[in-house]
């Protein structure tokens, strides 16, 4: 079983992409809604939450962990890899690889939480992968709460997205990384406001494609994780009112959420 965790419902975009790219590989999902958003927390707290989340998923039978939260990936991935023997995949590396391969000018924009932007990890990996790239960052602290509240099509959300994207548009970027797994839910708002010629890198899709490639190349991993008769499970540390509707929107079906403490 694959273990996937996020600070809230955004990581469900990763879970859905994995479900579509890797049929027959069940997962256990944990959304830490009681503590969302992670992006405004200190690195120490994000690392502590990530540690607890990983323990929970392993106790549920996960053999591989996907950090479906950019804030956690940028802050706690090194700690988790040093702490656990299980394979740990984060959403950052696949998005970086895709961005540097499609950008023609090397002018790459990144939107994310404060924790993700302040970590500098995306910028480090982008420049390591492509020395000529110029990275323009924009922290967007209001977007995760807006998504978690279900304000996907509200006028206020559109105005906030436009304001966040304006500095990146002024830099004439040709590629934009959605550095938070909540942001694919805002893609219909983001695309016209950044410009339709800008390549959008959805980290949810990229990590699913990365996992698919890993499975294709590793027979042992396939045998450990493939179990088509087993159903995926969804755990959350809190169940606020909008979460059921958001989960249904992401998966296109009703999703059973199990409350747990982590």
254 is in an annotated binding site: no
Is 260 annotated for ligand binding? no
Round the CA-based radius of gyration of the chain to a whole number and report it.
Answer: 17
> Which residue of the set 69, 133, 140, 227 is catalytic?
69
Torsion, Cα of 94, 98, 99, 104 (10° steps): 160
Catalytic residue among 22, 133, 140, 180: 180
Name 53's Cβ contacts closer than 8 Å, sequence gap at least 6.
5, 30, 32, 72, 262
182 annotated binding-site participant: yes
| 6 is known to lie in a ligand binding site | yes
* Residue 164, number of CB atoms within 10 A of its CB: 19
For 252: left if phi > 0, alpha if psi spans -120 to 50, otherwise beta; the answer is: left
Question: Is 204 annotated in some ligand binding site?
Answer: no
Clarify whether 140 is annotated catalytic: no
Residue 7 annotated as binding?
yes
Preceding amide of 37 cis, omega within 30:
yes
| Eight-state DSSP code of residue 184 | G
Residue 231 DSSP one-character state? P
- Would the annotation count 39 as a binding residue? yes
User: Residue written as tokens 């995949």?
Assistant: 89
Cα(35)–Cα(212) distance, integer angstroms: 30
Active-site residue, 69 included: yes
237 is in an annotated binding site: no
Known binding residues are 6-7, 38-39, 70-71, 181-182
Q: Which residues are catalytic?
A: 69, 180
Known binding residues for substrate are 6-7, 38-39, 70-71, 181-182
């Amino acid at each position: 079983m694959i273990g996937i965790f996020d600070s809230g419902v955004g990581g469900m975009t990763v879970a859905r992409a994995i479900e579509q790219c890797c049929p027959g590989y069940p997962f256990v999902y944990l959304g830490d809604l009681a503590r969302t958003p992670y992006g405004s927390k200190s690195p120490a707290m994000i690392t502590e939450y990530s540690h607890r989340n990983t323990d929970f998923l392993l106790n549920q039978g996960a053999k591989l962990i996907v950090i479906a939260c950019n804030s956690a990936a940028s802050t706690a991935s090194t700690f988790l890899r040093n702490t656990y023997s299980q394979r740990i995949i984060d959403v950052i590396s696949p998005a970086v690889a895709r961005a540097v391969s499609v950008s023609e000018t090397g002018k790459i924009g990144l939107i994310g939480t404060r924790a993700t932007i302040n970590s500098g990890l995306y910028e480090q990996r982008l420049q390591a992968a492509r020395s000529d790239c110029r990275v323009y960052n924009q922290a967007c602290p209001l977007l995760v709460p807006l998504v978690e509240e279900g304000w996907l099509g509200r006028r206020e959300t559109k105005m906030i997205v436009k304001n966040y994207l304006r500095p990146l548009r002024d830099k004439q970027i040709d590629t934009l990384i959605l550095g938070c797994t909540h942001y694919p839910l805002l893609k219909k708002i983001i695309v016209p406001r950044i410009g339709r010629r800008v390549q959008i890198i959805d980290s949810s899709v990229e990590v699913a494609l990365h996992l698919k490639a890993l499975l294709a190349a590793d027979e042992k991993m396939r045998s450990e994780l493939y179990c088509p008769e087993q159903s995926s499970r969804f755990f959350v540390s809190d169940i606020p009112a909008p979460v059921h509707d958001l989960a249904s929107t992401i998966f296109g079906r009703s999703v059973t959420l199990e409350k747990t403490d982590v």
